[in-house]
Structure 1
Amino acid sequence: MNHHIFPTYRVSIEPKRLKELQKNIWDEKPVPSIMEVDKRPYEIGISYRGDHIRKFRKKSFRIDLGTCSDYFEGREIHLNAEYRDPSIMRSKLSFDFFQTTGTFSPDCKHVLLELNGKSKGIYLQLESVDDLFLQKRKLPNGPIFYATNYHANFSLLNPKSEPKKSLLSGYRRKIGNDKDALDLEMLIYKINTIPRSDFGGEIIKYLDVKKYLLWLCGVICTQNYDGFIHNYSLYRNEETGLYEIIPWDYDATWGRDVHGGMMEHDYVPIEGYNTLTARLLDVKDFRDQYRLLLEEILETSFTAAALEPKITSLHTQLRPYLTLDPYMRNSIPKFDKEPEFILRFIADRNSYLRNHLKDL
């Protein structure tokens, strides 16, 4: 099998239904259509996905397969346009990197998308974080909440420092019931009200601290500025009763921001952001644990030497398909400079973080 050939997903939507889809980009209701992959048709529902990205020329999609499909290993997939990422590989690099550090993250791969016979270009197919995500990883069942906007900051206040209308503001329940929603409200309340002297001993009853700190290492290395207050999922492991955090949407990373502009390698401090992170790092044991975890990652998986083969290989695989992407074909020269840009970021970020380990 030639690994350089990405599968093509051919979606056909009735013209009338396509107009409906295009007319209201915020409509969550999937439009019935057919998707053909390897000459095999699947009946699907298609809708746009994402927050600010819905306004982009190249849209991202959610594909609802209805039932669990062996081919797609799920009942829904997400097709991300990666429109503002000139390398179209930052999300893929991020999720694969998280997996090397021991954090569960969605599986993903690049595919080609056609809509009613027109090429829409290269997309990143992302696994949905749901009950099937848990089963695939032999994880116990449990509720899952998506952090869909900046209100998911683990605080009692929204980003404008006003009291939240609801403690669940910023979250969308993916799996679970009303009791699970109350449980998440309780977590947020506890994060903000446990006295400082008791915090270390109490928070371990609600949160898998080690997993959170590992996730924090990943966000800090890839420098996902938004990743602290949205772009994650919360899962409560029913066996341990503890919350775990799963990364999501990582195109604004490796030295670029949400607009695709350059983000300096020292933009996000080693302590990161959000109320939960601040409270955890205020506990000496957790701070020490974080420093040791980060130190090891900076020596092993987050180095230019470790990541260069992966970056070069992805770049080589994607390169021939850029001409088929109507949104990318004019920026091939920029795409060709991205591997070097990303590798320079890794080297600079790594030394910046090493220099600041002593601050922890």
Structure 2
Amino acid sequence: MKSFASIGTALAVSLLSSVSHAEILVGVAGPLTGPSAAVGEEIKQGAEKAAVEINAAGGILGEQITLVYGDDASEPKQGVSVANKFAADGVSFVIGDYNSGVSIPASEIYAENGILQITPGSTNPTFTERGLWNTFRVCGRDDQQGAVAGAHILKAFKGKRVAIINDRTSYGEGIAAEVKKVINGGGVTEILNEGINTGEKDYSVLISRLKQAGTEVIYFGGLYTEAGLILRQAKDQGLNAVVIAGDGITSAEFGQIAGNAAEGTLMTFAPDPRLKPGAQSTVAKFRAGGFEPEAYTLYAYAALEVIKAGIEESESLEPQVVADALRSGNPITTVIGDIRFDNKGDRMDEDYTLYVWKKDSDGKLKYSMLK
């Protein structure tokens, strides 16, 4: 079995030397504004750095990558608008979106217009379960991380009163449902199962209900802004329940919003990609430029590496041909490690682990693997 990383581009370049190609247009879609803008910046920085590195090394099949950006603001309708604009602009490949509720409807537009989409952070299983030819993800799925969180609740909090909260998005509802499935299967019935609206600022009514129910453990399906506000207000109102969440709170912004209330919060995320042996030089370059490549930065970087590998393996710039090559199951060497895709476009090798938020020696809130 050959690795995409071992495939040279010399043959492909010679084959195409007499043919003139336009630049390779790659769209980067994500929340550059709105409640998840911090993650949008990570995705932008990751894709940008990868493009610079790849172009400096000769591009892809001798062609240079040009990135175009689309701000979906975490809104499904705006994500569809971005997708339509990318199609009109002649984009062939897309890195994005971040929110599952945006990626799912946008992927329909991309599929209809012959555009391959690789998301760095959309984890809802529906994204790859519809049989579309164009959907891939370099992250894992909610049924994977939900199983990890649910198993931990059953083991570590046996006999505790558990509440489940979600933010009514595709991501939040989906991952909360996966956790519910696991704990219910283990004989635990949640005492509350509530939905909140993204963008809310006052959660006093919700917190009062949690207190009245005697809540000891909260599973939260949603993103860092709402999670941070709920924790801070819960602490102020004397609710000291342990909170567990998914990868939606994997951002330094969570600690800044929640403040001291973030300490002890648990979350699921993949093994920290910054610690991968093959990522060290790339991480150093980000840090030298004053940017910490946390969370989805390196996932976006890897998404462009996947696109490059698929083009070089297929010796084609046609997205559907590239998609077929990516589904061959051959390993693709990326900054976050080797990736192999199944026929759905899911990774065959992703896993999740548990992290805990706590203060480091400098007093800064950070997440580290739970020991």
Q: Which has the higher contact order (CA 8 A, sep 6+)?
A: 2
Regarding TM over 0.5, the answer is: no
Greater share of residues in helix: 2
